[in-house]
Amino acid sequence: MVTPARYWREIPQRYRLEAGKCTRCGKTYFPPRLVCACGAREFEIVRLKDEGTLQTFTVIRVAPSQFVDEAPYAIGIVELNDGVRLTAQVVDCDVEHLEIGQKVKVEFRRIQTVGEAGILCYGYKCVPV
Amino acid sequence: MRDVAVIGIGMTKWGELWDKALRDIFVETALLAIDDAGVDHIDSMYVGCMTSALFVGQEHLASQLADYLGMGPIPAARVESACASGGLAVKQGFLEVAAGFSDIVLVSGVEKMTDVGGDQATYALSTAADQEYEGFHGVTFPGLYAMMARAHMHTYGTTREQLAHVAVKNHRHGALNPLAQYPFEVTVEGVLSSVMVADPLRILDCSPITDGAAAVILCPLDMAKTLTDKPVVKITGVGHATDTIALHSRDDVTTLNATAKAGEAAYQMAGKKPEDIDLAEVHDCFTIAEICVIEALGFIEKGKGGTAAESGLTALGGKIPVNASGGLKAKGHPVGATGVAQVVEIVKQLRGEADKRQVEGARVGLTQNMGGSGGSTLVHILEVQ
Ligand SMILES: [Zn+2]
């Protein structure tokens, strides 16, 4: 369920891939957190690499209502080149011939449309390179 | 800490129960457990329910259910841990009896999932995943488990047919369970030709949408012997652990860390090893889930889980029968009820009351109930005295 405040809060992550890097141990969290597994609470904001590798994926054939028009679509877990992993759709490709290990680039795309007013929500999707 | 026994069990036929309200399903089942235990009152109750708000628009559930059971003003609490809500209720009831805070505690799980349409049910279930970083991008629950399945197949060579064998086995067991939602057999060919939901998982790899409840009565072990003539079943191990709810945050998506940790804790508390377990009821919400769970619980080597159903290891008559009840796959999966129903099945088996699906000579049983894509897990070990 997307609401305006909720959507707005996540914009730094969805538009710019902003993550939190622990200033003590260097571990990077996406989205940023307030405390690191090492116990430290100081982070610097960093932007994630926009290229990575597909770790696993599926093709959604039975989609949630707001994605029905796009089905079938591929979605996967991507490990970016700085080691951070995220879930994103894989688009502009033949979903029947995707494979684990596919190199991808992260791009800024429309993700879904919500509500009767049809508010457009943007974020990241991956494209094979 | 006092020893805790299960002295009563209750479960009714699961399915699409359009003519019954959530409260009716709960009360029918709770009364069966109360009558089975032969008690005339309960001191307290816990209800496991994932989301009565999204499925029937009702919160403040525990008070309503205590009232309709005719047990008000006893203390009553609802607990939630997604699909592991029932298992969590069992743990909370155990703690209350063990601590000496109450003597006779009703633990139930309930979910009424068919009052809403498929879209709303899918949404309700999806709230167990990370809404901002998984759900926002269009991933579904079958999709999350499908990604585990693809990774398991890629890393360990698990085959599509091996996944199907889990469904075939659990339906074969479920066909022997008159309370199961789908008490019929399926074939490997049937699974492999069913509708694709999220590659590589098909509809017959998935547990269904179900209305249902289950209930047990707990009391101190000492008291159990004075209350019932039936074989007394003791809860000897309790394990509970968590993991990231976002699948992508885990180092290895094929390893269920919370299940491994909860299993270790329960084994240690009970003084048992995986090879001491006579049968297990595990959380096969999808076929791949059972494969990853039996690996995490140590029933089979990591990576070999795919071979278990096909070889007969986990079938009735095998070395470690898994999901003799039919599992979530055939018995049904009213999410909050599942963890309690697993305990009901193990108690039936340990009492020797499981009829055609009886595991002969069963003395030690294990239940494993998990939430979401594995972000929470409860493991219980039960032994007949
Ligand atoms: Zn750190």
pLDDT tens for each residue of B210-266: 999 999 999 999 999 999 999 999 999 999 999 999 999 999 999 999 999 999 999
**Closest residue by Cα to residue B287 from B305, B275, B274:** B305
Flag whether residue B248 sits within 8 Å of chain A, measured between CB atoms: yes
Confidence of residue A2 (pLDDT cuts 50, 70, 90): confident
**pLDDT reading at A1 higher than 80:** no
Which chain B residue is nearest to residue A75, measuring alpha carbons? B139
The arithmetic mean of pLDDT across residues B72-88, rounded, is 98
- Note whether B344 and B233 are within 8 A (CB): no
Q: Are residues B310 and B268 in the same domain?
A: yes
**Closest residue by Cα to residue B328 from B282, B259, B368, B296:** B282
- Note whether B382 and B6 are within 8 A (CB): yes
**Chain B positions in Cβ-Cβ contact with residue A86 (cut-off 8 Å):** 133, 248
CATH for A4-128 (1.10.10.10, 2.60.120.10, 2.40.50.840, 3.40.50.1480): 2.40.50.840
The arithmetic mean of pLDDT across residues A14-26, rounded, is 97
Confidence of residue B378 (pLDDT cuts 50, 70, 90): very high
Q: Are residues B281 and B342 in the same domain?
A: yes
Which residues are registered as beta bridge partners of B371? B376
Cα separation, B263 vs B276, whole angstroms: 13
Q: What is the pLDDT of residue A48?
A: 98
Q: Are residues B269 and B285 in the same domain?
A: yes
**Closest residue by Cα to residue B238 from B207, B193, B272, B285:** B272
Q: What is the pLDDT of residue A4?
A: 84
**The one-letter amino acid at B294:** I
Residues of B acting as catalytic residues: 83, 333
**Closest residue by Cα to residue B190 from B157, B170, B167:** B167
Boundary (domain end) residue, out of B227, B257, B274: B227
Q: How high is the mean pLDDT of chain B? A: 98
Which chain B residue is nearest to residue A7, measuring alpha carbons? B132
Residues belonging to chain A with any Cβ–Cβ distance to chain B shorter than 8 Å: 1-2, 6, 10, 14, 31, 55-67, 70, 73, 75-77, 85-89, 100, 111-112, 121, 123
Helix (H) or strand (E) holding B237: strand B233-242
**How close does chain A come to B253, measured CA to CA in Å?**
9
Label residue B28 exposed, middle or buried (CB < 10 Å: 0-12, 13-18, 19+). Answer: middle
Q: Pairing state of beta strands B44-48 and A103-114?
A: unpaired
Q: Which of A46-55, A118-127, B76-85 has the lowest mean pLDDT?
A: A118-127
The arithmetic mean of pLDDT across residues B361-371, rounded, is 98
- How many angstroms is it from B291 CA to the middle of ligand 1? 34
Which chain A residue is nearest to residue B202, measuring alpha carbons? A61
Cα separation, B332 vs B182, whole angstroms: 7
Cα separation, B247 vs B253, whole angstroms: 6
Q: Which pair of structure tokens corresponds to residue B280?
A: 């297990």
User: 3-state class of B123 per DSSP?
Assistant: helix
Q: What is the pLDDT of residue B178?
A: 98
Q: Which pair of structure tokens corresponds to residue B309?
A: 């159903």
Domain ranges, ordered by start, for chain A:
4-128
Cα separation, A57 vs A99, whole angstroms: 8
Q: What is the DSSP letter of B46?
A: E
**pLDDT reading at B172 higher than 90:** yes
Q: What is the pLDDT of residue A45?
A: 98
- Note whether B57 and B344 are within 8 A (CB): no
Cα separation, B154 vs B341, whole angstroms: 34
CATH number, domain with residue B83: 3.40.47.10
Which residues are registered as beta bridge partners of B85? none
**The one-letter amino acid at B3:** D
Q: Are residues B295 and B166 in the same domain?
A: yes
Q: What is the pLDDT of residue A118?
A: 82
DSSP for A15-71 reads HH-EEEEETTT--EESS--SS-TTS---EEEEEPPSEEEEEEEEEESS--GGGGGG-
Q: Are residues B331 and B292 in the same domain?
A: yes
**Closest residue by Cα to residue B112 from B202, B32, B12, B205:** B12
Confidence of residue B47 (pLDDT cuts 50, 70, 90): very high
Of B132, B150, B249, the CB nearest to A85: B249
User: 3-state class of B101 per DSSP?
Assistant: coil
CA distances, B165 to each of B161, B185, B324 (Å): 6, 12, 14
Q: Are residues B142 and B187 in the same domain?
A: yes
**pLDDT reading at B119 higher than 80:** yes
In chain B, what percentage of residues exceed pLDDT 70? 100
For the whole model, what pTM was predicted? 0.98
**The one-letter amino acid at A113:** T
Domain that holds residue B87: 4-117+209-227
Q: How many structural domains are present in chain B?
A: 2
Of A10, A64, A100, the CB nearest to B138: A64
Helix (H) or strand (E) holding A126: strand A119-128
**pLDDT reading at A119 higher than 90:** no
Q: What is the pLDDT of residue B257?
A: 98
The arithmetic mean of pLDDT across residues B38-61, rounded, is 97
